[in-house]
A = this chain, B = another copy of it.
Amino acid sequence: MRAKAIIARRSPDGVPSADDFSVEDFVVAPLQPGEVLYETLLLSIDPHVRRRLPQAAWLPKPHGDVTAIGEVVVAGTRPPPSPRDAAVVGRVLESRSADFRPGDFVFGGFRWQTLHVDQAAHLHHIQPTPATALVDELGLLGQPGFVAWYGVGLADLQPGEVFVVSSGGGAVGMVAGQLAKRRGARVIGIASGSKVGYVVDELGFDACIDRTREDVTGALDALAPEGVDVYFDNVGGTVTDAVMTRMADFGRVIVCGMASEYNRAEPVTGPPLRPVLRKRLRIQGFVIYDHGHLYPRFRELALRLVADGGLKYRNHIFDGFERAPEALGCLLRGENEGRVVVRVSDEVG
């Protein structure tokens, strides 16, 4: 049986482009006992894929696997620490395991390819819910939603506090802002393009700063003159430097992602730490892989919020497996409108 894979051809310079990759055919090996063959229906496109691409040796290694030049692009860790860390929603074609049958939907996959052979122990069943689509398993109910929920909890957010989320229209930010709103905070997004209006009009954020058109510090001075109590950071870089100057006393900075830095070749400095002392700030990073045991709590809550209309989401779908590099570039340039997913099979919605 033949399949397609996307190969990393070189170390990208900045945001990856299609030229950094090639699409190649490969032949799927026959199944061994305990293995499962499944097809990719949906492929998750995440910022961390960028860090796993070939890069200068001195750059810090990401958590988990990396892509070598000439190899199939790594899309996640293997085996996924939990179903939520899977990069692929697939459907079983053949199985030599009693745990999976042809037609079963599965989470799995950690590389960009259309067919996968893996041990059954590395796969997780998907149990679709009536209120959500299969694609939501990768976003709203997937790792982005889970990350948002965990990060907002870490912030010890109080009603009435000012909550700022960078990449507010992104896969994580959309959920973080809505959860903060449900906790009674005043929510200010930082976003670009159509996402600025979307998060206010559709998701109920109180305001959103367009980072490409507005001065972030000036906008915060107008929107939050008393300062920012919680900054949920998905981007790092200059946006973070700006918000850091506007933190309120006892503010908390939740470091969830560094999307703006994934394309940089040079290490960068960070914001001055002096305000950490003067304003008694807490800056806290986390990696969701450490907290997989909490996923069921999140899922239960999220489904309840979806059911009563209190949690919305949108996905930015690229149709066609070969568009994965294009989708990654769109994501890393911040041009996506919602969670980025490549739809490999036109049978799923």
Residue ranges of A at the interface with B (Cβ–Cβ < 8 Å): 60, 62-63, 236, 240, 255-258, 261, 267-287, 290
Q: How many copies of the polypeptide does the oligomer hold? A: 2
Whether the pair A285, B278 counts as a contact (CB closer than 8 A) is yes
Q: A63-B278, A276-B284, A283-B283 are in contact. List 8 more A-B contacts (CB 8 A).
A: A258-B274, A267-B272, A273-B283, A273-B285, A277-B286, A277-B287, A278-B285, A282-B285
Whether the pair A282, B281 counts as a contact (CB closer than 8 A) is no
Kindly report which residue of chain B lies nearest to residue A264, judged by CB atoms. B274
Report chain B residues within 8 Å CB of A63: 278
Q: Which secondary structure characterizes the binding site on chain A?
A: loop
A-B contact pairs, 27 of them (CB 8 A): A60-B275, A62-B278, A255-B273, A255-B277, A258-B274, A258-B277, A261-B274, A267-B272, A267-B274, A268-B272, A268-B274, A269-B270, A269-B272, A270-B270, A270-B271, A270-B272, A273-B283, A276-B283, A276-B284, A277-B285, A277-B287, A278-B287, A279-B285, A280-B286, A281-B283, A281-B284, A283-B284
Kindly report which residue of chain B lies nearest to residue A61, judged by CB atoms. B278
Report chain B residues within 8 Å CB of A280: 285-287, 290
Kindly report which residue of chain B lies nearest to residue A257, judged by CB atoms. B277
Kindly report which residue of chain B lies nearest to residue A273, judged by CB atoms. B270
Q: How far is the CA of A309 from the CA of B274 in the complex (A)?
A: 36
Q: How far is the CA of A287 from the CA of B282 in the complex (A)?
A: 12
Kindly name the residue among A268, A273, A278 whose own CB sees the greatest number of chain B CB atoms within 10 A. Answer: A273
Q: How far is the CA of A286 from the CA of B273 in the complex (A)?
A: 12
Kindly report which residue of chain B lies nearest to residue A289, judged by CB atoms. B280
Report chain B residues within 8 Å CB of A277: 255-258, 285-287
